[in-house]
Chain A
Amino acid sequence: QSALTQPASVSGSPGQSITISCTGTSSDVGGYNYVSWYQQHPGKAPKLMIYEVSNRPSGVSNRFSGSKSGNTASLTISGLQAEDEADYYCSSYTSSSTWVFGGGTKLTVL
């Protein structure tokens, strides 16, 4: 299984919005509404931010939102804050009953 495709890096200024894309195939992202997004700060375990494309777990800021169109899912962070600077990974369920992650995107808050 091939990793989902994410941009290596994105950046934005405090208060701005950014969007991270995650492109797969009809066998993963396009075929299921089981796309998740994880935030990972250096030296820490990943943290679930979005599940089932657009749902936020309890305690996650409503500045984080997710969507999907075809084989591409997106994570949008609005009102950027310094603490949002981290690596972000998408993940999708696949037709083989496995999971696949994206390569990760480094978010820099300028």
Chain B
Amino acid sequence: QVQLQESGPGLVKPSGTLSLTCAVSGGSVSSSNWWGWVRQPPGVGLEWIGQIYHSGSTNYNPSLKSRLTISVDKSKNQFSLKLSSVTAADTAVYYCARDGGYNYDYWGQGTLVTVSS
């Protein structure tokens, strides 16, 4: 059973960089899967952020691409998200998930990140 766990600061200052890590257990980031990030602002719907393959190939949401970096660390079996120049609009619950083949079949529990001074 694949399990994913997000971790990172719950509070980020405006104009700062939001950094999150997703630890994978019960599976390997080196497997034939993409690994993705999805966020959900309070009371709002889901927004796809981007995803990465173990080779380092990435696909990003065009609206976030200029501020976004997703990376993978095969030695630690985890992948990470960095979003720069954050504003209050980036306040959301951030989920990591596994792409099981054109669908997200395993999800982390989510972590709330608040952008505030």
* Interface presence of A102 (CB below 8 A): yes
Whether A102 lies near B45 (C-beta < 8 A) is yes
Q: A13-25, CB under 8 A of B: which get 1 and which 0?
A: 0000000000000
Contact of A98 among B45, B60, B95, B102 (CB under 8 A): B60
How far, in Å, is A98 (CB) from chain B's closest CB? 6
Chain B CB within 10 Å — which of A52, A97, A99, A104 has the most?
Answer: A99
- Which residues of B from 61 to 77 have beta carbons under 8 Å from A? 61-63
Q: B12-52, CB under 8 A of A: which get 1 and which 0?
A: 00000000000000000000000010100000011110110
Residues A101 and B110 in contact in the complex (CB < 8 Å), given A34-B102, A36-B103, A96-B62: no
Please count how many residues in chain B sit with their CB below 8 Å of the partner chain's CB atoms: 24
The residues of B that contact A89 with a CB separation of less than 8 Å are 45-46
* Interface presence of B85 (CB below 8 A): no
Q: A86-101, CB under 8 A of B: which get 1 and which 0?
A: 0101010100111111
Contact of B59 among A34, A36, A98 (CB under 8 A): A98
* Interface presence of B116 (CB below 8 A): no
* Interface presence of B55 (CB below 8 A): no
A52 to B100: give the CA distance in the assembly, Å: 11
Whether B45 lies near A46 (C-beta < 8 A) is no
Which 4 pairs from chain A and chain B are nearest by CB?
A51-B103, A104-B45, A45-B107, A34-B102
Known: A36-B104, A46-B38, A99-B48. 16 other contacts (CB 8 A): A1-B61, A45-B95, A46-B104, A48-B103, A48-B104, A89-B46, A91-B46, A91-B104, A98-B59, A98-B61, A99-B36, A100-B48, A101-B45, A101-B48, A103-B45, A104-B45
Taking Cβ atoms with an 8 Å cutoff, the residues of A that contact B are 1, 3, 34, 36, 38, 40, 45-48, 51-52, 57, 87, 89, 91, 93, 96-104
